[in-house]
Structure 1
């Protein structure tokens, strides 16, 4: 994948020569782009406390409700245990002049401080997470020793460009407008817990929202496909300067897709299978 493929290449002597030499790896083939151009979708996680509506926060902290949730699933295959992490997904534009949406929502009927590392809140709340699906920030994967069993250094560099920070601020404001000003939410008396209704500057919103942001696990582009000198593989997914070595995973995407990466990665694999058969 986008983490493992450049790591294996670098440990095998394929990558930026300076990095390889620093890690006592013999240079087999220099390609400065191996591990560069890392892109991912960052999930901003504003949290809104609500009233007059039960969320999974209360279910989680109530033994009886958890038992009833389990019974409802085992007997009728209904209820909270039948759903994924999000109840609602959707796309929207951060600016009207854009031709297509650049923001993606995943709305969850629950809330927490640090995703997967802390328990759900004890009060009713929901999390309308929102991603910039065309980020301009770029990170990198770097070797951390000459043994592939040593985890590589991962530099995500989220929100490192002015464009990404500006869009993050706009995304929070759009979400705030929907939740705090629409009639649909009036019966639930929403209160913005995070990042905080008092923050209105886009730069400050991006900084505060970034403290609780998470990856959506869409890393791509660390072994970018192309026919230019900065690419790692060509349009048949063969590594430039080498023979018989193909890379077939999300790392070959020239840029991140405007949405989830699973289906595009499957399509890459199916296309690669056809090319491998054709080249026999």
Structure 2
């Protein structure tokens, strides 16, 4: 029997489409307006107060980056997670990201390190990827119980993968597992299947994605592996888990990752859900809950 998305997920996708959420990415001009607004009125990246009731929170700075550290309250962490948030490189951490951090801290007993990286156009790939690789290296070197899991969603998944590739090339080190949620891995936004998928996508539009990618690329070309890690090598990376949905214009990136990573000898745990939108593992729908359960299992398994 064909998979049918849950009633709640279908209702949410319809609501997103009806409310015009995609307008923020509808054009290059819309993205530039979002960036300009962020300069005039910077959005907060602070964690919600509710997270402080279940986790021990601290904040340090790595260069200009605020980096949050959330640990299980009253217990030693069983594993370490570097969580890199999405937002097309132009948006700050939002409540769904912090909700995922809460899940990882409370259910997987993980220490979560969460960078509020500098957004584009100030933060560009040539500056951002090395800092993310340093954070990953430091978390791995911190040792303690369990292993280190690298998790990213959307643009954050692209940054996470680029950081893992850089660290591999620099030292040969890497996390024990990589989890990519609706990853944006090819900022050229040039796959021929994307035009058809875009018609049903309630959140993303190619023209806005291309402009956000241009801002993040800075002086690099969009096909540089630091910008588009899909164009880099996967050889020697940790096993990768991928979550994507067929109503996501970026699902082509996930399909290409599956093909290229497998060809490079990397184990890929691949989840493509029919009818689901971009970022569904972060959404309050049954399929999102199932994806989060799987992510918790992965982090717990890293605890050894």
- Do they fold alike, i.e. is TM over 0.5? no
Rg bigger for which structure?
1
TM range (shorter): under 0.3
| Greater RCO (CA < 8 Å, at least 6 residues apart) | 1
Which structure has greater strand proportion?
A: 2
Which structure has greater helix proportion?
A: 2
With structure 1 as the length reference, what TM-score do the two structures score?
0.22
With structure 2 as the length reference, what TM-score do the two structures score?
0.21
